[in-house]
Protein backbone atom coordinates (compact mmCIF):
# COMPACT_ATOMS: atom_id res chain seq x y z
CA UNK A 1 0.00 0.00 0.00
CA UNK A 2 1.42 3.35 -1.07
CA UNK A 3 1.83 5.94 1.60
CA UNK A 4 0.21 9.32 1.03
CA UNK A 5 2.61 12.19 0.25
CA UNK A 6 3.23 14.48 3.19
CA UNK A 7 1.47 17.80 2.96
CA UNK A 8 1.92 20.72 5.31
CA UNK A 9 -1.25 21.78 7.13
CA UNK A 10 -2.98 24.91 5.72
CA UNK A 11 -1.83 27.06 8.62
CA UNK A 12 1.83 26.17 7.96
CA UNK A 13 1.47 26.84 4.25
CA UNK A 14 -0.13 30.22 4.95
CA UNK A 15 2.71 31.08 7.35
CA UNK A 16 5.35 30.17 4.77
CA UNK A 17 3.56 32.11 2.05
CA UNK A 18 3.29 35.10 4.37
CA UNK A 19 6.96 34.91 5.29
CA UNK A 20 7.96 34.75 1.61
CA UNK A 21 5.76 37.73 0.81
CA UNK A 22 7.29 39.72 3.68
CA UNK A 23 10.80 38.82 2.54
CA UNK A 24 9.97 39.84 -1.03
CA UNK A 25 8.53 43.15 0.15
CA UNK A 26 11.58 43.79 2.32
CA UNK A 27 13.87 43.13 -0.65
CA UNK A 28 11.74 45.40 -2.84
CA UNK A 29 11.93 48.24 -0.33
CA UNK A 30 15.66 47.73 0.32
CA UNK A 31 16.44 48.06 -3.39
CA UNK A 32 14.27 51.15 -3.67
CA UNK A 33 15.76 52.75 -0.54
CA UNK A 34 19.26 52.04 -1.85
CA UNK A 35 18.49 53.70 -5.17
CA UNK A 36 16.90 56.66 -3.38
CA UNK A 37 19.96 57.10 -1.16
CA UNK A 38 22.25 57.05 -4.20
CA UNK A 39 20.00 59.43 -6.14
CA UNK A 40 20.23 61.96 -3.31
CA UNK A 41 23.98 62.39 -3.82
CA UNK A 42 24.71 61.29 -7.40
CA UNK A 43 23.40 62.10 -10.86
CA UNK A 44 21.18 59.35 -12.25
CA UNK A 45 23.49 58.72 -15.19
CA UNK A 46 26.31 57.93 -12.77
CA UNK A 47 24.33 55.27 -10.88
CA UNK A 48 24.65 51.73 -12.21
CA UNK A 49 22.44 48.73 -11.60
CA UNK A 50 25.52 46.87 -10.35
CA UNK A 51 26.06 49.56 -7.72
CA UNK A 52 22.44 49.43 -6.63
CA UNK A 53 22.53 45.64 -6.38
CA UNK A 54 25.79 45.61 -4.40
CA UNK A 55 24.56 48.25 -1.94
CA UNK A 56 21.22 46.46 -1.51
CA UNK A 57 22.81 43.02 -1.13
CA UNK A 58 21.05 41.47 -4.12
CA UNK A 59 21.95 40.49 -7.67
CA UNK A 60 21.58 42.72 -10.71
CA UNK A 61 19.05 40.22 -12.05
CA UNK A 62 16.92 40.71 -8.94
CA UNK A 63 16.88 44.47 -9.52
CA UNK A 64 15.95 43.96 -13.18
CA UNK A 65 13.30 41.35 -12.37
CA UNK A 66 11.61 43.63 -9.85
CA UNK A 67 11.97 47.03 -11.53
CA UNK A 68 13.18 46.47 -15.07
CA UNK A 69 15.91 49.07 -14.70
CA UNK A 70 16.42 52.65 -13.57
CA UNK A 71 13.24 53.89 -15.24
CA UNK A 72 11.23 51.40 -13.21
CA UNK A 73 12.98 52.47 -10.02
CA UNK A 74 12.22 56.11 -10.77
CA UNK A 75 8.57 55.26 -11.44
CA UNK A 76 8.39 53.61 -8.00
CA UNK A 77 9.51 56.75 -6.12
CA UNK A 78 5.91 57.91 -5.43
CA UNK A 79 5.32 54.61 -3.58
CA UNK A 80 7.93 55.56 -1.01
CA UNK A 81 9.01 59.16 -0.93
CA UNK A 82 5.62 60.32 -2.25
CA UNK A 83 3.67 58.57 0.50
CA UNK A 84 6.04 59.90 3.15
CA UNK A 85 5.73 63.47 1.83
CA UNK A 86 1.93 63.23 1.90
CA UNK A 87 1.98 62.02 5.51
CA UNK A 88 4.30 64.80 6.68
CA UNK A 89 2.34 67.56 4.99
CA UNK A 90 -0.99 66.19 6.15
CA UNK A 91 0.24 66.63 9.72
CA UNK A 92 0.09 70.41 9.26
CA UNK A 93 -3.51 70.74 8.11
CA UNK A 94 -4.76 72.47 11.28
CA UNK A 95 -3.89 76.06 10.28
CA UNK A 96 -1.95 78.17 7.81
CA UNK A 97 0.97 78.37 10.24
CA UNK A 98 1.15 74.63 10.83
CA UNK A 99 0.77 73.95 7.10
CA UNK A 100 3.78 76.14 6.30
CA UNK A 101 5.79 74.64 9.17
CA UNK A 102 5.04 71.11 7.92
CA UNK A 103 5.93 72.12 4.36
CA UNK A 104 9.32 73.53 5.35
CA UNK A 105 9.99 70.53 7.58
CA UNK A 106 9.33 68.27 4.61
CA UNK A 107 11.64 70.32 2.39
CA UNK A 108 14.36 69.93 5.00
CA UNK A 109 14.18 66.19 4.32
CA UNK A 110 13.39 66.10 0.61
CA UNK A 111 14.17 69.55 -0.83
CA UNK A 112 17.73 68.89 -2.01
CA UNK A 113 16.64 65.60 -3.59
CA UNK A 114 13.71 67.25 -5.39
CA UNK A 115 15.92 70.03 -6.73
CA UNK A 116 18.37 67.41 -8.01
CA UNK A 117 15.56 65.50 -9.74
CA UNK A 118 14.12 68.68 -11.28
CA UNK A 119 17.55 69.57 -12.67
CA UNK A 120 17.68 66.19 -14.45
CA UNK A 121 14.11 66.17 -15.77
CA UNK A 122 15.07 67.36 -19.30
CA UNK A 123 17.55 64.48 -19.61
CA UNK A 124 15.49 61.66 -18.06
CA UNK A 125 12.05 61.17 -19.57
CA UNK A 126 11.07 58.81 -16.74
CA UNK A 127 11.33 61.67 -14.23
CA UNK A 128 8.46 63.58 -15.85
CA UNK A 129 5.57 61.43 -14.61
CA UNK A 130 7.11 61.14 -11.13
CA UNK A 131 7.60 64.90 -10.82
CA UNK A 132 4.13 65.54 -12.25
CA UNK A 133 2.70 63.49 -9.38
CA UNK A 134 4.57 65.77 -7.00
CA UNK A 135 3.30 68.91 -8.73
CA UNK A 136 -0.28 67.66 -8.58
CA UNK A 137 0.11 66.79 -4.91
CA UNK A 138 1.57 70.23 -4.12
CA UNK A 139 -1.40 71.88 -5.82
CA UNK A 140 -3.86 69.68 -3.92
CA UNK A 141 -2.26 70.25 -0.52
CA UNK A 142 -2.13 74.00 -1.17
CA UNK A 143 -5.84 74.00 -1.99
CA UNK A 144 -6.54 72.13 1.22
CA UNK A 145 -4.30 74.26 3.44
CA UNK A 146 -5.75 77.54 2.17
CA UNK A 147 -9.25 76.38 1.35
CA UNK A 148 -10.79 78.97 3.69
CA UNK A 149 -9.26 81.81 1.68
CA UNK A 150 -9.79 80.24 -1.74
CA UNK A 151 -13.46 79.63 -0.98
CA UNK A 152 -13.99 83.42 -0.98
CA UNK A 153 -12.82 83.69 -4.59
CA UNK A 154 -14.32 82.54 -7.85
CA UNK A 155 -13.18 81.70 -11.35
CA UNK A 156 -10.01 83.32 -12.66
CA UNK A 157 -9.41 85.21 -9.41
CA UNK A 158 -9.40 81.97 -7.43
CA UNK A 159 -7.06 80.24 -9.87
CA UNK A 160 -4.71 83.23 -9.93
CA UNK A 161 -4.48 83.31 -6.14
CA UNK A 162 -4.01 79.54 -5.94
CA UNK A 163 -1.11 79.79 -8.38
CA UNK A 164 0.44 82.55 -6.28
CA UNK A 165 0.25 80.36 -3.18
CA UNK A 166 1.66 77.37 -5.07
CA UNK A 167 4.58 79.46 -6.28
CA UNK A 168 5.33 80.98 -2.86
CA UNK A 169 5.41 77.54 -1.23
CA UNK A 170 7.37 75.81 -4.00
CA UNK A 171 10.60 73.94 -3.32
CA UNK A 172 12.53 76.51 -5.38
CA UNK A 173 11.57 79.19 -2.84
CA UNK A 174 12.83 76.96 -0.03
CA UNK A 175 16.09 76.43 -1.94
CA UNK A 176 16.50 80.18 -2.50
CA UNK A 177 16.00 81.06 1.17
CA UNK A 178 17.61 78.02 2.77
CA UNK A 179 20.55 77.29 0.49
CA UNK A 180 21.31 80.42 -1.53
CA UNK A 181 20.60 82.96 1.22
CA UNK A 182 21.67 80.54 3.99
CA UNK A 183 18.71 81.30 6.24
CA UNK A 184 17.90 78.87 9.05
CA UNK A 185 14.78 76.72 9.01
CA UNK A 186 12.89 78.84 11.54
CA UNK A 187 13.53 82.03 9.58
CA UNK A 188 12.50 80.40 6.30
CA UNK A 189 9.25 79.19 7.87
CA UNK A 190 8.50 82.64 9.28
CA UNK A 191 9.25 84.45 6.00
CA UNK A 192 7.13 82.13 3.85
CA UNK A 193 4.25 82.40 6.33
CA UNK A 194 4.54 86.20 6.44
CA UNK A 195 4.47 86.44 2.64
CA UNK A 196 1.56 84.01 2.33
CA UNK A 197 -0.39 85.94 4.96
CA UNK A 198 0.12 89.14 2.99
CA UNK A 199 -1.01 87.45 -0.22
CA UNK A 200 -4.14 86.21 1.52
CA UNK A 201 -4.83 89.60 3.11
CA UNK A 202 -4.58 91.30 -0.28
CA UNK A 203 -7.45 89.26 -1.73
CA UNK A 204 -9.65 89.02 1.37
CA UNK A 205 -9.35 92.63 2.53
CA UNK A 206 -8.23 91.56 6.00
CA UNK A 207 -5.03 92.40 7.82
CA UNK A 208 -2.14 89.93 7.56
CA UNK A 209 -1.50 87.88 10.69
Q: Please give the span between the terminal C-alpha atoms of the chain, in angstroms, as a whole number.
A: 89
Rounded mean pLDDT of 64-84?
87
pLDDT digits (tens, 9 = 90+) for 124-153: 999 999 999 999 999 999 999 999 999 999
pLDDT bucket at 94, cuts 50 / 70 / 90: confident
User: What pLDDT does 13 receive?
Assistant: 57
User: What pLDDT does 81 receive?
Assistant: 76
- Residues 6 or more apart in contact with residue 134 via CB below 8 angstroms: 78, 82, 85, 114
pTM for the predicted model, two decimal places = 0.81
User: What pLDDT does 19 receive?
Assistant: 61
CA nearest to 140, candidates 116, 160, 165: 165
> Is the Cα torsion angle 136, 141, 143, 144 positive or negative in sign?
positive
Q: How far is CA 102 from CA 116, 160, 195, in A?
A: 21, 24, 16
Distance CA 89, CA 145 (A): 10
Q: Where would I find the beta strands (DSSP E) of the chain? A: none
Amino acid sequence: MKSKPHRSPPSTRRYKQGARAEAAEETHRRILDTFLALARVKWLEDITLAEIAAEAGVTVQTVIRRFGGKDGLIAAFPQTIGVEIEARRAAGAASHATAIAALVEDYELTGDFLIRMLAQEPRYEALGPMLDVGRAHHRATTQTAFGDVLSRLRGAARERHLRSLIAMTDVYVWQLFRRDMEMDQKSVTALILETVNKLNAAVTGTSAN
